[in-house]
Structure 1
Amino acid sequence: MKKIIALLLFTNAVFAQKIAKIDSGAINGAAFRIVFPENWKGKLVMYAHGYEFMGSPLQSKNPEWISRMKPFTERGFAVAASDYRNQGLALVQGVDDTEALRQYFVNKYGKPDSTFIAGHSMGGGITIATLENFGKNYVGGFPMCPLAGRIYLQTKKEFDLIAAFNALFPGYMPSLGEILDKNQSTKPVPMNVAFGKAMKIKKEIFAKDSLLAADIADRFDLKPDDLPFALAFGENVLRDIAIKGGGNPYDNTNTLYGGFRDNLQVNQKVERLTANIAQDKLFAQYDRTGNIDKPTLALHTVYDQLIPAEMAIGRYENLIQEKGKQDYFTVKYTDGQGHCNFTEAQTGQAFDELRAWVKTGKKAQAGYIK
């Protein structure tokens, strides 16, 4: 479980850094931090962080954050990152606050020789949305383990997972009706509570029926051990959405659930809800279009317990093909086992391939990174 927490927060490595200067402050209520390496070459990476549980320590306060930026700073890039105005699901704020910080950087330090945008997880989604809407300001994008598909569809995965689990293991999780009730989800579950709940669920459901738990996990591209964590994380995301949107944007009255040992049983027992707020209230602004025109290299692991590759890559690739933008998108993958579980060397190699693509105009080749 500690490893999963580390992967979620990207706090799994510490490196000595030669940082010449740190600029910090706040823009429109969003704290930021900019680091300049000693070998700064006038280049910039705008970095977008991933989903943070409400109440988690801010990125700008994390002493390990600078170390995690080593694949960029050791290559002579300054790195600028916003905390965003709010935690949790912050796709819109992430795009706007990252753009505001980029403008601050240009006004204070001048226009960089070249500017890339990069991010992990939800930050990978912010990276893609930024390229779709503010691409003129960048030479390339580096979304890693990205929340890349249409946001409604990706977050409905959490909804469907809990719906199916509750149908087969009733009583271990709150109902979806409770989770998505704006009057009951008054505050997202704190991170320590969510992980504690996951450990309790894991012990109880594996004692009751480990084979059934494994079946549910397999249906949602999860390893059995990761199922309880995915449930707890999904509950937090859905409560966050109910709070920010003021209700439930999901409708599964016409959904036919499949891929289980007994599909009829699941569909007869699953909780059915109708939406009481429109999808566009939370998901329309900066939702995915596939309309990119700058080199974009996505990096993903072969196994991801939070954003499976089919969602992170497959659905966005369909949008790109609809727009005829395939020449601007390539995917590299690693043998990593977990959300954003890349090594420093893998991240650096992928970033180097993106930089070479930008410099030469020759598209980076898709494929495996050791």
Structure 2
Amino acid sequence: MPFQRLSVLVAATLLAACAHHQPLSQEAAPQPLPCPSGIGAEIRCLGGRDSAGAYYLIAMPKDWNGHLVMHAHGGPFLGEPTAKRVEEDLQRWSIMPRAGYAWAASSFRQGGVAVRPAAEDTERLRRLFIQHVAPPKLTFLHGQSWGAGVAAKGGEMFTQGKPYDALLLSNGVIGGGTRSYDFRLDLRVVYQYLCGNHPRPDEPQYPLWQGLPEGSKLSSADLAQRSKDCLGLGLPAASRSAEQARKLKTLIDVIRIPESSVQGHLNWATFHFHDIASKRTQGRNVFGNIGAVYRGSADDQALNAGVLRYAADPAAVAQFGADTDPSGKITVPVLMVHGIDDPIAFVELESVFADTMARAGNAGQLVQTFSADSNHSYLSDASYVGLMDALQAWVSQGRKPTPASVAQACQAALTRFPSGCRFQPDYRPQALETRVPTRQRP
């Protein structure tokens, strides 16, 4: 549908949309903006900053299919919101408007590990779209990585009038904050046991679940230098000392993450943990490792005797869980995809979410699919088009997909978007406890 004809659609369907959607908040109209590079000449962009301070971007294809994809981005990012955040999201997810969907994403009004506010920001943008662009025929809520938790929370929070017809969750950190990040505390304590430089002995000592002490000036570059000094990260393997190679192998074997993701997880277990402790839980501890048994080193007995141990605070766990943990109370279709070898969000988190949906009585609303991918950030154009085609058929025609039918939909999408299809219909993830040690919980 040409963009100029959107006003016709607004006039024709506004009354029906009012019965379907919640009352609209009053937001200023978006302004035409240049699209980020590489999006395509047939796509028009609108954007602005909403009343809460979040930047947003809307992409409208020339031949709009009438459906809207609301995107919740991964991360989360720390610091103030920026327009660059949503520009980068559109560049990564341009497949959605190129496949005919309107696409809208918020930067979220604040940085840090705050899930419910991010879901509110996404919902505010959905209402802005209806108010100033057009009421869509169907609205899909897509969450990627940490944003999958945002989308799941949004699917629970906003149900009046059925604002979202279905959810697509990709490579999701979907086990809830109180369980998804346990292994990062494990990373901190094992790293400190091996390296003893985060913090150094001559620096103020602090509990590692805190991420950093208040007032710390440590930067990501400083942290990278420390891991380079101890583990040889960033060096060619041949340039590492025997001691560095031994320690790196121990860390990788015990925490069960690839070398390529060690620095990223160490950063998150530092700066994001500080955000959680200082801004989300009033300085109380969410993450404990009492009872966790670490395996994979040359001397597990010495390792388990030597690592620092912490007990989680029940009030902090409850507070953080209320914001970040899914309840499974999602009554619309949920289609998920996860790379089997995802190094950032473990595929085993899917077993936690499946159990959560089942406990809420909504197992029938969930279909999980898995792809032989190790890239966390993106799978392939045809994969997402196939997933969206399957989800649309589920909503519009009642044809609930299966992992096999999604794999077939991906193959069909290859004719329009040559890329790749690596779905594994028979794959089932193991329990999270097979990868992350069990521990005492409040």
TM-score normalised per structure 2: 0.72
Q: Map of 1:240-259 to 2, 5 A cutoff? A: 240-244=275-279, 245-250=281-286, 252=288, 254-259=290-295
Report deviation, 1:124: 1.1
Counterpart in the other structure of 2:15: none
Counterpart in the other structure of 2:132: 108
Gaps of 5+ in 2: 1-36, 408-420, 423-442
Where 2:192 maps in the other structure, the secondary structure is helix
Counterpart in the other structure of 1:4: none
Where 1:350 maps in the other structure, the secondary structure is helix
Counterpart in the other structure of 1:85: 109
353 and 211 in structure 1: CA distance in 2 versus 1, 3 angstrom threshold: farther
Query: Percent identity of the aligned residues?
Result: 22
Counterpart in the other structure of 2:92: 68
Distance 1:300 1:18 in 2: 30
Identify the match of residue 232 of structure 1 among 258, 262, 267.
267
Distance 2:265 2:75 in 1: 14
Question: How far does the alpha carbon of each residue in 1:166-186 deviate from its partner, in whole angstroms, 9 at most, with x for none?
Answer: 22x131333893554488244
Distance 1:258 1:182 in 2: 21
Identify the match of residue 191 of structure 2 among 165, 171, 178.
165
Distance 1:231 1:114 in 2: 40
Q: Is the contact between residue 251 and residue 272 of structure 1 (CA under 8 Å) also seen in structure 2?
A: no
Counterpart in the other structure of 1:295: 333
Identify the match of residue 323 of structure 1 among 360, 371, 376.
360
Distance 1:213 1:296 in 2: 39
Report deviation, 1:202: 4.0
Counterpart in the other structure of 1:353: 390
195 and 365 in structure 1: CA distance in 2 versus 1, 3 angstrom threshold: farther
Q: Is the contact between residue 188 and residue 236 of structure 1 (CA under 8 Å) also seen in structure 2?
A: no
Question: How far does the alpha carbon of each residue in 1:159-202 deviate from its partner, in whole angstroms, 9 at most, with x for none?
Answer: 122112322x1313338935544882447965555556555554
194 and 70 in structure 1: CA distance in 2 versus 1, 3 angstrom threshold: farther
Q: Which amino acid aligns with 1:164?
A: V
Question: How far does the alpha carbon of each residue in 1:89-137 deviate from its partner, in whole angstroms, 9 at most, with x for none?
Answer: 1312211111111122222234311100002111111111111222421
Counterpart in the other structure of 1:9: none
Q: Which amino acid aligns with 1:257?
A: V
218 and 353 in structure 1: CA distance in 2 versus 1, 3 angstrom threshold: farther
Report deviation, 1:240: 1.7
Counterpart in the other structure of 1:47: 71
Distance 2:228 2:38 in 1: 27
Report deviation, 1:51: 1.1
Identify the match of residue 255 of structure 2 among 202, 205, 220.
220
Where is the strand percentage greater, Structure 1 or Structure 2? Answer: 1
95 and 251 in structure 1: CA distance in 2 versus 1, 3 angstrom threshold: closer
198 and 267 in structure 1: CA distance in 2 versus 1, 3 angstrom threshold: closer
Q: Which amino acid aligns with 1:48?
A: A
Question: How far does the alpha carbon of each residue in 1:209-256 deviate from its partner, in whole angstroms, 9 at most, with x for none?
Answer: 534533432343312343233222322221221221331423536323
Larger Rg: 2
Cα root mean square deviation, aligned: 2.9
Q: Which amino acid aligns with 2:249?
A: A
Q: Which amino acid aligns with 2:283?
A: G
Counterpart in the other structure of 1:3: none
Report deviation, 1:57: 7.6
Q: Is the contact between residue 73 and residue 89 of structure 2 (CA under 8 Å) also seen in structure 1?
A: no
Question: How far does the alpha carbon of each residue in 1:3-55 deviate from its partner, in whole angstroms, 9 at most, with x for none?
Answer: xxxxxxxxxx9453521341322231112111211112332111111114424
280 and 171 in structure 1: CA distance in 2 versus 1, 3 angstrom threshold: same
Distance 1:36 1:269 in 2: 57
TM-score normalised per structure 1: 0.85
Aligned pair count reads 356
Gaps of 5+ in 1: 1-12
Q: Is the contact between residue 56 and residue 191 of structure 1 (CA under 8 Å) also seen in structure 2?
A: no
Where 1:303 maps in the other structure, the secondary structure is coil
Identify the match of residue 318 of structure 2 among 259, 277, 280.
280
Q: Bigger relative contact order, structure 1 or 2, given CA contacts below 8 A and separation 6+?
A: 1
Distance 2:132 2:70 in 1: 15
Where 1:33 maps in the other structure, the secondary structure is strand
Counterpart in the other structure of 1:153: 179
Distance 1:240 1:137 in 2: 31
Counterpart in the other structure of 1:129: 153
Distance 1:105 1:316 in 2: 30
Distance 2:361 2:153 in 1: 17
